[in-house]
């Protein structure tokens, strides 16, 4: 998704009309400051914006808008409605969803899917290719085999794992030019868990923009966000990265302008056997939970891309992150590795992101 840097939000100035009629809104603190003081404060003053929250896709979707932005709540409602609609298409937990129908029938015969699902599958195929297979939405059989799909994880038997690996992989999927999809493996299961939320945020950001909202923060599950515009005071949206081990600390603070964020980690979902922790993010190539990375955050122009890449970098580690960011300017990754819990690593750079490391 193309994105551009917005110039600093113009402050609404005093709105006394020529005829002396009063405006119907009081000034914000920022406006009062701008009139009283010859130099602006270095940080924008605190203000209260409105958070609109809604449960969907087994998590909470949020939008934060300014109360001064008149279409804000209406636009957020429309965005949340679109999330509900996308859930009915993309969820593997709904038997009647388009993706569930695809998973049931595409191994038997080509299934014609709607343009949204087809476009998302094309996007997934591209990201799969670009990440050398580290990102793969076709590993639903593996997720099911490890019990993460129904939230009762357990160590699978070698036979079950072998079977699941055999029926996973984008190589088994054919996207036909006429909009049909077919699987070459009977057990293949597509699961959009690692990209669906981001895709919904991208659609939401487009909806908000179309309704005239210039700045808002959309987020899902605390792990995906789309920073629309430059945030309060034009300074950017300040987002912290929570340390996956020392959970009351953040290991970096980001300032985002017109860009999306995706974070992958295993601290919220996983299980332990004999002191060995098994996280829910599986390496589609080995069939086992990914190791080596504690937290992978990616900043990109679209939330679908940042979500997918966060998972891919979590799986592929630093080599993949460095290779990908070098080949794709504008993508930024903030990685925290198991080797060094106190030293996050920033890969890549972008005009849309400022990264400050440390517990700020």
Residue ranges in 278-337 that form contacts with other proteins under rule CB under 8 A: 295, 297
**341 belongs to the binding site for other proteins (CB under 8 A):** no
Residue closer to other proteins (CB basis): 325 or 336: 336
> Tokens 């909806």 map to which residue?
207
Nearer to other proteins, 47 or 108 (CB): 47
Using the rule CB under 8 A, is 102 a contact of other proteins? Answer: no
Q: Are 36 and 168 in contact (CB under 8 A)?
A: no
If 0-12 CB within 10 Å is exposed, 13-18 middle and 19+ buried, where does residue 251 land? buried
One residue of 10, 37, 96, 275 binding other proteins per CB under 8 A: 37
Rg (C-alpha) for the chain, rounded Å, is 22
Residue 91 as a binder of other proteins (CB under 8 A): the answer is: no
Q: How far is the CB of 3 from other proteins (least distance, A)?
A: 19
- Closest contact distance (angstroms) between CB of 113 and other proteins is 24
Residue 219 has a CB neighbour count (10 Å cut-off) of 25
Instruction: Please report whether residue 257 would count as binding other proteins according to CB under 8 A.
Output: no
Q: Which stretch binds other proteins (CB under 8 A): 121-129, 184-192, 262-270, 322-330?
A: 262-270
Q: Strands, E, within 229-352: which ranges? A: 237-242, 250-256, 259-265, 270-273, 276-279, 293-300, 332-337, 345-347
Site for other proteins in 128-187 (CB under 8 A): none
Cβ proximity to other proteins: between 111 and 296 the closer is 296
Of 3, 9, 62, 228, the one binding other proteins (CB under 8 A) is: 62
Cα separation, 298 vs 335, in Å, equals: 9
Q: Please report whether residue 221 would count as binding other proteins according to CB under 8 A.
A: yes
**Interface residue with other proteins, options 5, 58, 186, 210 (CB under 8 A):** 58
Whose tokens are 């629309």? That residue is 228
Asked if residue 161 lies in contact with residue 167, where contact means CB atoms within 8 angstroms, the answer is no
Query: Near other proteins by CB under 8 A, which window of 50-58, 105-113, 155-163, 170-178?
Result: 50-58
Q: Which tokens is 305 given? A: 């891309």
Contact with other proteins (CB under 8 A) among 249, 286, 342, 351: 249
Closer Cβ to other proteins, 48 or 96, answer by number? 48
By C-alpha distance, which of 191, 260, 219 is closest to 83? 219
Enclosing H/E stretch for 201: helix 196-210
Q: What is the DSSP string of 226-241?
A: EEETT-GGGS-EEEEE
Q: Provide the 8-state DSSP code for 301.
A: S
Residue 58 or 154 with smaller CB distance to other proteins: 58
Nearer to other proteins among residue 64 and residue 106 (C-beta): 64
Look up tokens 């210039």; give the residue.
Answer: 214
Is residue 273 at the binding interface for other proteins, with CB under 8 A as the rule? no
List the one residue from 92, 117, 225, 331 that touches other proteins (CB under 8 A): 225
Read off the tokens for 68: 């001064």
Size of the site for other proteins (CB under 8 A): 90
In the complex, the smallest distance separating the C-beta of residue 351 from other proteins, rounded to whole angstroms, is 20
Query: Phi and psi (nearest 5°) for 322?
Result: -65, -45
Q: Which of 117, 217, 260, 312 binds other proteins (CB under 8 A)?
A: 217
Comparing CB distances to other proteins, the nearer of 131 and 266 is: 266
């Amino acid at each position: 998704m193309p994105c551009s840097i917005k110039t600093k939000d113009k402050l609404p100035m005093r709105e006394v009309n020529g005829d002396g009629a009063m405006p119907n809104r009081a000034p914000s603190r920022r406006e009062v400051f701008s009139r009283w003081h010859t130099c602006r404060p270095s940080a924008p003053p605190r203000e209260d914006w409105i958070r609109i929250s809604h449960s969907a896709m087994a998590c909470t979707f949020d939008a934060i808008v300014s109360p001064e932005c008149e279409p804000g709540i209406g636009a957020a409602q429309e965005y949340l409605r679109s999330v509900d609609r996308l859930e009915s298409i993309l969820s593997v937990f709904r038997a009647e969803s388009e993706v569930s129908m695809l998973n049931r029938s595409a191994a038997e015969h080509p299934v014609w899917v709607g343009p949204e699902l087809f476009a998302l599958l094309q996007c997934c195929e591209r990201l799969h290719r670009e990440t050398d297979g580290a990102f793969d939405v076709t590993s639903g059989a593996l997720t099911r085999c490890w019990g993460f799909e129904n939230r009762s994880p357990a160590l699978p038997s070698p036979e079950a794992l072998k079977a699941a690996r055999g029926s996973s992989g984008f190589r088994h999927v054919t996207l036909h030019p006429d909009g049909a999809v077919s699987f070459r493996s009977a057990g293949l299961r597509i699961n959009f868990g690692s990209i669906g939320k981001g895709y919904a945020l991208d659609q939401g950001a487009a909806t908000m923009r179309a309704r005239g909202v210039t700045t808002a923060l959309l987020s899902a599950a605390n792990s995906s966000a789309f920073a629309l515009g430059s945030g309060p005071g034009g300074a950017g949206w300040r987002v912290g990265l929570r340390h996956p081990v020392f959970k009351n600390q953040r290991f970096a603070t980001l300032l985002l302008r017109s860009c999306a964020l995706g974070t992958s980690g295993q601290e919220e979902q996983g299980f332990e056997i004999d002191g060995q922790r098994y996280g829910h993010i599986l390496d589609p190539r080995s069939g086992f939970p990914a190791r080596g990375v504690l937290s992978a955050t990616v900043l990109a122009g679209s939330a679908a891309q940042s979500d997918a890449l966060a998972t891919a970098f979590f799986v592929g580690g630093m080599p993949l992150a460095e290779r990908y960011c070098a080949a794709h300017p504008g993508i930024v990754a903030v990685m925290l590795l198991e080797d060094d819990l106190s030293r996050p690593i920033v890969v890549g750079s972008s005009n849309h992101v400022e990264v400050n490391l440390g517990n700020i």
